[in-house]
A and B are shown apart, each in its own frame.
Chain A
Amino acid sequence: MLYQTYGPALVRKARRVLQDSDEARDVVQSLFVDLMQRNQLDVDLPYLYRAVTNRCLNAIRDRDNQRRLLEQQSPALRGVARSSCGERVVDLDLLTKLSDRLDARSLEIVVCLYVDDMTQDETAVLLGISRRAVVKRVRKIREVVAALVGDPVEVAR
């Protein structure tokens, strides 16, 4: 029942990150298989959202996966992009580049802010860290993105 209730929302989220429907469904299915095996069914959508983020980022970090994901990606599946890092929408291409340059926590923040369109406060709550910690990492993230895309660094989001 949890799978039927939250599955579609999680597939949509995974699809925005991986830009591939089959990959997204696989990620969500494997998450719930693991939850069932651990008998861990008292979870809510925020928890699951974060779990899907991490699974997607793990898939992106894997070199073999990266090549395959980039080859088969469908940019349209990125969906309505309502926020951006500087002037750049964060898509699969940028995420794969960032995966070599940012640590796991910073990548999570990138997905929260620029793919899931969360505020810094929401991101802090979801990740269980202070807003100040998010702000500090955002500065670094924006510098790295600017260096990758050649944009001037902006101070405010």
Chain B
Amino acid sequence: MTTMEKLQHLLGLDTKASSYRQVPDARHGMMANEKRPDHWVKTTCGYCSVGCGLEIGVRAGEAVSVRGDPDHPVNDGKLCPKGLCEHESIAVEGRALYPLERPGRRGPGNRLEWPRAIETLVSRARAIQAEHGPDSFAVLSTGQLVTEEFYTLGKLVQLGLGTRNYDGNTTLCMASAVSGYKRSFGADGPPGSYRDLEEADTVVLIGANIADNHPILAYRLFKKRILGEEGPRVIVVDPRATKTAMQADLFLPIRPRSDVYLLNGIARLLIHEGWADEAYAREHATGYDELVEHLEPFTLDYVARVTRLEPGVIYETARQIGTSGSTLFAWTMGVNHSTQGTETVNLINNLAILTGNLGRVGGAPLSITGQCNAMGTRETGFTSSLPGYRAFDSEDDRRELAAIWKIDPGSLPRERGLAYPDIVDAILDGRIRGLWIIGTNPVVSYPHREKIVKALERLDFLCVQDGFHPTPTTEMADLVLPAAIWGEKEGTFTNSERRVSRVRKAVEPPGEARSDFEIFLEVARELDVGSRLFPGWREPRDAFEEWREVSRGRHCDYSGMSHELLDEGSRQWPLNEEHPEGLERLYGDGKFQTPDGKARLFTVRSILPPEEPDPGYPFLLNTGRTVEHWHTRTKTGKIPILEQAAPEAWVEINPRDARELGVRNHDRVTVESRRGKIGRLRARVTSIVGPGQVFIPFHYVEASANRLTLDDACPISREPNFKQCAVKIQRHGP
């Protein structure tokens, strides 16, 4: 502001009326002049996996506003608070602008030209691999790239770089759902649709606080109620009295980690009360008799005692599930974030199989995924399976894929490389020496922070490719590659209901940032594999075209899709000759992706959580999210309206415990586990949590819940147990 303007401002001569004036916009109606765009760019939200359609308002090359896309079938124009101001995530301070080399991993670093940066990455990786073997260089990616980039990256890493040790942060959020689906149904892929949230007679939400974490699914769930019709009965299973629990018809405040008992107990009731669809289960699944036998000890009384739920409520839950025309079972991290995550998913799938809630309107086991395109990497990625849900250990799958790619089947790995937590362990014991991190912030998001920091420090070489710099992770890097983010690149996202939507570029990336796709192609060129792996590729569409063919005939069949088709509107996979409009629900034909075409019923016994409260650490810590923020806050922490709405972390403490600790609301406390501690954390005295339990949101690097958590992981999915560990609390001195 000039002095003159400042004076005018102070005297009150200028009230900036013109920026605040409401002016008409042809598409979205009256809006503030300051935010009225020249044109709207249709795209898909880049935060969570609900996959809402939205439009970015662009004026003079800048994103100035966002509105929900009223024509998108997922959200009907509704958005959550993060989506409602998502354009602000683009032009924030702290974007990575130039490739940076950081000698000694300190300081702001030296600017590099792009070719030099790519050469550095490749030469360092090659040097490490030459000395310590091809698998001594690892790659950790994300759930936030577009599908085309995931497909490209998978090929680049496995066939170009030639390391098997490639995984994503998706292992931190939905790996258990993936493994659970694979075990129960022979393939990954959520069988249901969001419309089942509307059409089901009963919806059971297990460890899923959708009101905070997926608000637009709450819209779908309550849509009928809103329209004055009878909506589904809602049953919520959660140890916390969440915002979602408050909307439930029946709330089961379950003792943490007793879900295996509850799910077994419900299964037993279904069978004993004659509510199970035995004919369906016997015809379409194996293991029925073993299950019946296994369930015998899980009597209502026993289950009630372990779960600390009222027997009547468990019975009512089972009755509701068993007698409803259709039941949707939906879950998120409350189930997945556990050392028994995969098996818990199998138990949920058991209930769906026992009641025949598969492939029919309103009936499905639906895992609600975390990140916007976790599904894309599940399908096209080359991490826990070969692209197109192909198995590493299947010779047929390898041969088929090799034929499409016109390569020697022997060049495809026969087993998956290390999963995320195992990569961290391998860094610590020196097997892995170099790491390329793409679009994730493990210093905040990985459990047991001290361990991950030690691991990253131990690396000979760390390259971090991110849209933001500095982040706690880029600050540890030798090389920072600036990437374009949401709103700056083209491609597709696939959401939790297998719906593929277009992602579009609205504005140019800042500085010299480039799309991940371009960076991958450059790395391939430098590795001298570009023409072999990506012949003639110039844009994400080229990757999509190849991916279509790779997926042809597979469970996740994209063969009938194209960017042009998706430009007309989103579609669900499989989309092929047989299902030209896509398939709303999987397994309607009762055929599963197992060799015998039958689903599997699992017998699961509970294992103890890795850590339980004891006199030294008397509280059970639960971690999770809050509606205002996204993951590690690299974006939402820079958006004033979201940041001010929840500016710092807190710890929820039950009033009874607070009294004993002498802690009042808003007091500062120290929370400490065997692995670390957080000081000066703000206490929130509330009955959201039960006595003996505390909760901390994990978004905040300043008070990182992951200083406390442990990285024990599910033996099957390798997803870490974020949800339970033992802590102690001390009130801060005056």
- Are A and B bound to each other? no
Q: Which residues of B contact A (CB under 8 A)?
A: none
Q: Which residues of A contact B (CB under 8 A)?
A: none
